Structure 1
Amino acid sequence: MSFPITRHRRLRGSAGIRGMVRETVLNVLDFIQPIFVTYGTGVKNEISSMPGVYHFSLDTLKAEVDEIASLGIPAVLLFGIPETKDAVGSSGFADDGIVQEATRLIKKWYPDLLVVADTCLCEFTDHGHCGMVHTHTVDGVVHGDVINDASLELLTRTAVSQARAGADIIAPSNMMDGFVQAIRAGLDANGFEQVPIMSYSVKYASAFYGPFREAADSAPQFGNRKTYQMDPANLREAVREADSDVLEGADMLMVKPALAYLDVIRTIRDQFDLPLVAYNVSGEYSMVKAAAQQGWIDEQAVVLEMLTGMKRAGADIIITYFAKDAARWLRG
């Protein structure tokens, strides 16, 4: 049938009808709120490139967690800024590390709030890379190669220490080959076979990470991460990466970033039946915030449209710095 018998606008005529036929619905249970924890006392410092996002010391953390829990957000993703850094990121797998201590506190305050621990070394290494490196100097310029297999042992120790501290989900973001298999084996050998792995399966070497690197103090001190994070031009490679993680024991898959990679989210959704996570990253957040502060866009409308697009593309879960705002807007 065609016009005039078929009139598509009939199903758009009122808010009630539009709501009844809506195909994609956002829910607060879709969201994970990232948190940055650091050492010190009395610290609640706004990150200059991420308005509304803060560094929290452990003594100021509870107010933030109280707010997240009160909004019904089911999970937080923890990133830690350590007191000291070294070549192997040892504070990342220390039992008294900042992420481990924050995890224990959050689970004490809110046992049912899920703690997702980002498992990487870049915040904890003095060189800012996600694994061990072999460095050499040529004409006064430092060059380095990330050592894949030796890094797996350190990443596994980090994951086990996070699980021991009470993390509900381990989320390895390092993009080393074989990281899911190594971490799964390490968790299982230490009695954490019930702790799931949310793998950063498809993580691109993206320009959208700039504000995060300020937030996490994790910019590489030399070179870049293009030898282990993916080329933004590649889609078929994303399927290969996700397939490897499924075979190695991942429980959830992730695509990062989200906004410029909706086609990748859709492709991974169509290829695999594991829960799929989209990471709405710092650059995506900061661009919207900057435009909203200039009065150029309606922040609420843009954010909810953007998050709906990620879910429509196939994401089951969305990690977003907008989680608290979105939860409030959905209530309203």
Structure 2
Amino acid sequence: MDLREAQRLQYCCSTGRVPFAVEAFEAGFLPGNREDSSYQLTEEHTNVDLPSGFMDNDYEDPDLDRLLEKFHEREPRVAVIGDAYTREEAEKYQDTIDDLADEYPYRRFIVAPKCEAAFEVLDAETTTLGYANGKSSVQAEDLGPVKFRGWNVHILGGNPIDAYEAMQSLTQPTLDGREPANIVGYDWNGPLRMAYWEYWTPDGWQDNGHLTPRETARRSYQEIKQYLQEKDVWPETEPRELYGEAVEEPDFDIFMDKGGDPIPSREALETSYVREYEEKGTLAFESESQMKFIEYREGLTPVG
């Protein structure tokens, strides 16, 4: 059965470090990471610009103050605030979201209910329910999918097949005519966790053979996207359409400071220096010092 009214996701997230986050973003995913880690962009990633898309909480070691510190630092578009195992936790998270919603409009704040009382406390106007579908000790199914109907819901974890089955259970018509859930997002870190060994396909995990870890992750992202597209739930607008490309492309595939030598790889471009000039367009340099020297020697005027 198709999802009710062929509902599409608003976004599909993937957590991971560079270069995996670049691969996810370029495949159409909203990149992100857990609060206790980052993309780990270093000085080497001089030509990589990833948006602050998704921030997950460390559900095994939750700390709201630590999470808020990271939220204010990164200002992600989507954030998992916490898992509410008690009414008191749900109240604390809702109070936090009420404050954040005033300061950060147009963000999505997620709380994963882990007790029935949480549904009574959380506010559907400001809070999206996290549907625990991965490794958590309390899964959404333990509470019953019916409790999530009528809410905005983000599927937390699970491979794409399991996630799609969850979407079906939350949106298919019921005998008593209950309102379906509005599935807004889905995230899974499987491609990152398995990138050194396997890539995901609808037929199961496949050995990466001769592929590098980065190529393996890329294959997983491609397979996931194709699967969700075939199910007609892939987002109509991909994050890169909103934020622009993560890696700037020069007008010429050469390093200007290497005598016109070709840029040997994607990885080399990500660690290069790319700048637009009024006189010559967008150029790439391998070295920052040589870039500045050539700018001086040629009298180049940077744009912006």
Normalising by structure 2, we get a TM-score of: 0.48
Q: Which has the larger radius of gyration?
A: 2
Normalising by structure 1, we get a TM-score of: 0.45
Structure with bigger helix share is 1
